[in-house]
């Protein structure tokens, strides 16, 4: 059954080239995940605060490497785009410290829409890492790829994520009631969104 309108983002816009490394304010980088990042992924998903807002945990490095492989494959399948947030330790960022993760998931290129997600490791919290990373990701998604709408959802109890959304120009559009299960039960979720024509923030 043919579409009545052409795809907003043509097939191949992501997969025809390697996933890029993106610059972030104050010298940070977004770089694609590597298999050698597996210990960091295990550490992140062992953190109680990260576990509190997620459905899954990584029990060992083999499982983390499998996740990283899925994140890498998602780029070429054009179903997701996942980056490590890194403070480079050298010119080629091979020895850089991983501070967190930022990603686009639930990509729908046909209508130019995706959902932002992120987490920050405990040692890097309180430094504005998440807002800077989300802002860099949004600039790339709108300016380089041509997304029209980015969404950001979080539990109504997650006040830190709500602050990140506000700082990065994601307007609160409403509340999805009883929308997402967590380990302590069902949570209502705030839905934020930012459009390509919205003013930049963050």
Q: pLDDT tens digits for 150-199?
A: 999 999 999 999 999 999 999 999 999 999 888 889 999 999 999 998 87
Asked if residues 80 and 72 have their Cβ atoms less than 8 Å apart, the reply is no
At 21 the pLDDT is 96
| Three-class SS state of 87 | strand
The rounded mean pLDDT for the chain is 92
Instruction: Kindly state the average pLDDT of the residues 138-159.
Output: 96
Instruction: Kindly report, residue by residue over 8-38, the tens digit of the pLDDT.
Output: 999 999 999 999 999 998 899 999 999 999 9
Displacement of CA 91 from its chain's centroid (Å):
24
Distance CA 178, CA 181 (A): 8
At 91 the pLDDT is 53
Q: How many helices (H) and strands (E) does the chain have?
A: 5, 8
């Amino acid at each position: 059954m043919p579409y009545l309108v052409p795809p907003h983002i043509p097939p191949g816009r992501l997969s025809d080239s390697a996933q890029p490394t993106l610059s972030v304010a104050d010298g940070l980088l977004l770089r694609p995940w590597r298999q050698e990042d597996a210990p960091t992924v295990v550490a992140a998903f062992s953190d109680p605060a990260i576990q509190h807002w997620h459905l899954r945990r990584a029990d060992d490095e083999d499982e983390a490497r499998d996740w990283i492989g899925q994140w890498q494959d998602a780029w070429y399948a054009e179903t997701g785009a996942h980056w490590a947030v890194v403070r480079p330790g050298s010119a080629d960022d091979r020895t850089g410290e991983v501070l967190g993760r930022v990603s686009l998931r639930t990509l729908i290129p046909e209508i130019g829409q995706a959902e932002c997600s992120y987490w920050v490791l405990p040692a890097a919290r309180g430094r504005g890492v998440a807002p800077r990373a989300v802002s860099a990701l949004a600039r790339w998604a709108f300016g380089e790829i041509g997304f029209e709408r980015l969404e950001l959802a979080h539990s109504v109890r997650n006040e830190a994520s709500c602050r990140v959304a506000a700082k990065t120009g994601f307007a609160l559009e409403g509340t999805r009631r009883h929308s997402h299960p967590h380990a302590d039960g069902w949570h209502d979720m705030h839905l934020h969104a930012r459009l390509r024509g919205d003013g930049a923030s963050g």
